[in-house]
């Protein structure tokens, strides 16, 4: 599992009501890894070693590359992991939609964000029916149109 960097701008992240600490985490380890960290350690301090190995608990949770990035940035410190899982899910959803609309396959996205196919399509459907959303061209071809 590799750490994908933040796909959305800081302004987009702030619109999801994320505190600065959550935005910094997303910038360093990406949205998917931040969401896993928040889900498991949100609202607590996490002591990070100066260097981290692939067998470390944090590596097992978010992937070795993301854990190494955390250690490079905050190694030797106690880092507060904010309890913002709802807001980070908002970021995840926006990010997935943008990446899907730019042509990334849903299979790679569900794998990266550790969600099932059905949940991905539910997010897409909810977004397309929400007020103010104008989905880009429909990438699904009809079986009956020429």
Domain end call among 60, 85, 110 = 85
Residues 77 and 99 reside in one and the same domain:
no
Is residue 59 within 8 A of residue 95, CB to CB? The reply is no
Question: Is position 146 within any domain?
Answer: no
Percentage of the chain with pLDDT > 90?
53
Q: What is the pLDDT of residues 28-71, one digit of tens each?
A: 999 889 989 998 999 999 999 999 999 999 999 999 999 999 99
Q: Which domain holds residue 43?
A: 10-85
Q: Are residues 39 and 66 in the same domain?
A: yes
- Does some domain include residue 46? yes
Tell me, yes or no, whether 81 and 118 share the same domain: no
Whether the predicted pLDDT of 115 surpasses 60: yes
The average pLDDT across 92-102 equals 90
Q: Is the pLDDT of residue 7 over 70?
A: no
Q: Beta-carbon neighbour count of residue 49 at 10 Å?
A: 14
The answer to whether residue 143 sits within a structural domain is no
The residue ranges of DSSP E strands in 54-131, in sequence order, are 78-81
Question: What letter does residue 43 receive in the DSSP assignment?
Answer: T
Which secondary-structure segment (H or E) carries 46?
Answer: strand 44-47
* pTM more than 0.95: no
Q: What angle do CA 111, 48, 46 make, to 5 degrees?
A: 80
Q: Residue-wise over 59-79: b if at least 16 C-beta within 10 A, else e?
A: beebbbbbbbbbbeebeeeeb
């Amino acid at each position: 599992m590799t750490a994908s960097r933040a796909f959305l701008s800081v302004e987009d992240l702030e619109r999801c009501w994320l505190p600065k600490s959550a935005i910094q985490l997303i910038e360093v380890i990406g949205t998917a890894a931040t969401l896993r960290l928040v889900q498991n350690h949100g609202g607590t301090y996490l002591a990070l070693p100066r260097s981290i190995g692939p067998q470390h608990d944090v590596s097992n949770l978010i992937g070795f590359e993301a854990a190494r990035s955390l250690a490079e940035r905050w190694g030797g410190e106690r880092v507060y992991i904010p309890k913002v899982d709802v807001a980070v899910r908002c970021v995840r959803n926006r990010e997935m939609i943008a990446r899907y609309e730019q042509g990334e396959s849903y299979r790679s996205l569900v794998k990266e964000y550790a969600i099932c196919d059905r949940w991905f399509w539910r997010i897409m459907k909810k977004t397309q029916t929400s007020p103010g959303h104008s989905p880009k061209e429909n990438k699904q071809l009809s079986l009956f149109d020429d």
